[in-house]
Amino acid sequence: MNIPQLRIDQQFARIGINTEDAKVDLQQGPAQLEIQQPSADINIKTKPAKLTIDQSKAFADLGQFPVGESIRRSAAEGLSEAQSGSRRRRRQGDMMMKIENGGDPLKAIAKQNAPRKMKPFNIGFIPSYGSVKIDYQPAEVEVNNQANKPIINSKPTLVKQSYQRGNVDVYLEQQNYLDIQFDNIPFKNGGTEILL
């Protein structure tokens, strides 16, 4: 027995899509930067130190005096010695005028005019305590400084931008179709008839 058969072969349509991404290109160089740093203003004022050493008292203890003082002392000592010598000679002259009174005045005068005995030398010079006076005034330093702010100049660079649009392409990748086949079905008068 021939069973009629209906065969259907079907294929769906298939859509294909091609995409191209958009492209963005950004370029930016570094900013132009200029920095200047002026030097700081520094002003220094210095008052020098002062050291004073006064040794006049120590020299005076040694017998050394400034020129004016030495001349004055020597003149006074010379005057005193001249007056003392004049008095001594007058006294000795009086003694010689009265030689007749006895007492051996020549011997006494010779003894008075004889040179003095030498004394032994001991310590030559010891200055008195505090004879050297020292005065010190320290130096004074005054520092004034003023910082100067930096000078900054900056200039940004422009951004270079390029853009390429993306694309979407849609197409029919596979055509659809429907195929129907009839088996074991006789055709009569332009139609079909199923015989059982």
Rg (Cα) of the chain, in Å, rounded? 70
**Residues 46-62: tens digit of each pLDDT:** 999 999 988 888 777 77
Domain ranges of the chain: 1-36+152-196, 41-118+125-145
In whole angstroms, how far apart are CA 92 and each of 31, 97, 112, 126? 118, 9, 9, 40
**Residues 97-146: tens digit of each pLDDT:** 877 777 787 788 888 777 777 766 666 666 777 788 899 999 999 999 89
Contacts (Cβ under 8 Å, ≥6 apart) of 47:
139, 140, 141
For residue 42, name the pLDDT band (cuts at 50, 70, 90): very high
Q: Which residue has the tokens 């100067």?
A: 148
**Amino acid, res. 21:** D
What pairing do the DSSP bridges indicate for beta strands 23-27 and 160-164? antiparallel
- Using alpha carbons, select from 178, 194, 176 the residue that is nearest to residue 14: 176
**Residues 61-102: tens digit of each pLDDT:** 777 777 788 888 888 988 998 998 888 888 888 888 877 777
In degrees and rounded to multiples of 5, residue 2 shows phi and psi of: -95, 115
Q: How many CA atoms lie within 13 A of 5 on its CB side?
A: 8
User: Mind spelling out the 3-state secondary structure of 93-159?
Assistant: HHHHHCHHHCCCHHHHHHHHHCCCCCCCCCCCCCCCCCCCEEEEECCEEEEEEECCCCEEEEECCCC
How far is 88 from 66, CA to CA, in rounded Å? 32
